[in-house]
Amino acid sequence: MNTLKNKVAIITGANSGIGLATAKLYLKEGAKVVLAARRKEALDTVAKDLDGTFITVVADVSKPEDNVNLIKEATNAYGNIDILFLNAGIAPISPTTDITETHYDEIFNINVKGPILAVKEALPHINDGGSILFTSSIVSQKGFDGLGVYSASKGAIRSYARVLTSEVKSRSIRVNSIAPGPISTPLYGKMGLPQDVVEDMGKGFAQQVPLGRFGTSEEVAKTALFLASDDASYINGIELEVDGGLSQI
Ligand SMILES: NC(=O)c1ccc[n+]([C@@H]2O[C@H](COP(=O)([O-])OP(=O)(O)OC[C@H]3O[C@@H](n4cnc5c(N)ncnc54)[C@H](OP(=O)(O)O)[C@@H]3O)[C@@H](O)[C@H]2O)c1
């Protein structure tokens, strides 16, 4: 119950899926949590069911000024930061022949620029010995048709995390990434595909997973708790797959 007692955690993408499940678990483990996401209405709705010490902040991670404001609101509320979980992301699909500049910019602005700018803003306020977590994806290790730009964005953030691991070493800040496989979240409904195509795609993914199923947000949240906590005190710079074995075969 007290794994994160008195720790201050910021989670982006916290009104849904993996981010929300992690916010619930961090609160249960005693953290003071700053839940950030883009849609205020969804943040307000989930906040009604949360117990513990938390604030919500509306922030579009692709906007530099929103990242500045997010860190300001968080530090005004709780002081220095112990855990920064850069989890917000989108995964729209487009085969290479249909890729537009808008598709590319949207994905890279949210999945790459956003977390990097948030780290820059947060670093002066992260306690020595703190923990930074990214949600990457196994898509940078395996190729799935139509996910070219998304996969490139996740590969980019994984590479950035390696550099950051080295850049913050003098402060003993640990930097790790979580690479989910197929996880049952609202993400798939936001890909811009008809429902039957999403369902077929889901079946296809599940068949490829050695455990034969999608994972849950709660299973990823447990990994986000482990990596952020002192239980992972000598784990630094890694990408941990939470994918039922999909990336390993
Ligand atoms: N589900 C999977 O199978 C899977 C697999 C590998 C990796 N991932 C990664 O896991 C992370 C979480 O996704 P999820 O599956 O939990 O999906 P989700 O339920 O759709 O959650 C995505 C979250 O990101 C937020 N978000 C999106 N764009 C944003 C922006 N511009 N500014 C701020 N917040 C923004 C969303 O908030 P709003 O709705 O308010 O915009 C939402 O809270 C993503 O980085 C995703 O790429 C997911």
Question: 156 near 134, Cβ under 8 Å?
Answer: no
Which numbered atom of ligand 1 lies nearest the CA of 184? Answer: 1
Residue 173 Cβ inside 6 Å of ligand 1? The answer reads: no
Q: Residue 202 above 90 pLDDT? A: no
Confidence class for position 219, pLDDT limits 50, 70, 90: very high
Prediction pTM value: 0.98
pLDDT in the model for residue 211? 97
DSSP one-letter code for 32: E
Class of domain 8-241: alpha beta
Q: Give the pLDDT mean for 159-173.
A: 98
Q: Give the pLDDT mean for 68-82.
A: 98
Q: Residue 130 above 90 pLDDT? A: yes
Q: Residue 192 above 90 pLDDT? A: no
Q: Give the pLDDT mean for 192-204.
A: 86
Which numbered atom of ligand 1 lies nearest the CA of 189? Answer: 20
pLDDT in the model for residue 171? 98
* Mean pLDDT of the chain, nearest integer: 97
Residue 223 Cβ inside 6 Å of ligand 1? The answer reads: no
Residue 13 Cβ inside 6 Å of ligand 1? The answer reads: yes
Q: How far is the CA of 246 from the centre of ligand 1 (A)?
A: 20
Q: What HEC string does 205-224 produce?
A: HHHHCCCCCCEEHHHHHHHH
pLDDT in the model for residue 11? 99
Q: Known catalytic residues?
A: 150
* DSSP SS3 for 108: helix
Q: How far is the CA of 18 from the centre of ligand 1 (A)?
A: 8
